[in-house]
A and B are shown apart, each in its own frame.
Chain A
């Protein structure tokens, strides 16, 4: 089956702009998580959505937001971009067997954001 798809793969923005990243999870997966990956901070959790509801949120400023649609596709938005927002943004989806968490995140290849 198709994996997690993230678009766009690469983008360049300037400070002060905003950006929207998109993620299509694996078919049947209802949970979508977002992570930021940088050389200095590593992989950091941004937020997680399940059935259109944000269930967990990491320690990021309010400029970072997200949403999930009824088809489980998710978007994240970063407003008023700063140089430090340059990173690889990873989306991951996970499924369940009934109500049990299967324990595995399936990651996309990421969207690499460069802020100039």
Chain B
């Protein structure tokens, strides 16, 4: 069975600081990878996704993530965070065989101080 680990449960940054959230997955086959974000009081929404091709993917609001197959990682990055980035971030994976069944990590709460 596949699993996803997000090692940072709560990250606190000041505005303009750089962000990197870790995500590691365990699955031996082909995977599709996602980052979802949940802003306070809002529904989960897709930040970015990786299916194939360029391992560096860009998402909305200046976020990007790099898929490193050898490390089973899909870390999320942003060079300069804003107060409005305060949210909970979830990494998720699905195998090609069950494309609509996502396995989520436990989430990372990001707090950006103004």
A residues within 8 Å of B by Cβ? Answer: 3-4, 31, 33, 35, 42-45, 48, 50, 55-56, 58, 90, 92, 94, 101, 103-110
B82 in the interface (beta carbon within 8 A):
no
A56, B45: Cβ atoms closer than 8 Å: no
Other-chain residue from A3, A4, A101, A110 in contact with B100 (beta carbon distance below 8 A): A101
A55, B45: Cβ atoms closer than 8 Å: no
The distance from the CB of A63 to the nearest CB of chain B, in whole angstroms, is 20
Count of chain A to chain B residue pairs whose CB atoms are closer than 8 Å in the complex: 56
Interface size class on chain B is 20 to 34
B102 in the interface (beta carbon within 8 A):
yes
Q: Is the interface of A mostly helix, strand, loop or mixed?
A: strand
A105, B43: Cβ atoms closer than 8 Å: no
Selected A-B contacts with CB under 8 Å, 17 pairs: A3-B43, A31-B100, A42-B106, A43-B90, A44-B104, A45-B102, A50-B100, A55-B100, A90-B43, A103-B32, A103-B49, A103-B99, A105-B46, A106-B45, A107-B36, A107-B45, A109-B42
User: With A and B bound together, what is the CA distance between A104 and B80 in angstroms?
Assistant: 26
Which B residue sits closest to A49, measured CB to CB? B100
A90-B44 contact in complex given A103-B32, A104-B49, C-beta closer than 8 Å: yes
The distance from the CB of B38 to the nearest CB of chain A, in whole angstroms, is 9
**Cβ–Cβ < 8 Å partners of B107 in chain A:** 42-43
A107, B100: Cβ atoms closer than 8 Å: no
A43-B104 contact in complex given A90-B44, A103-B51, C-beta closer than 8 Å: yes
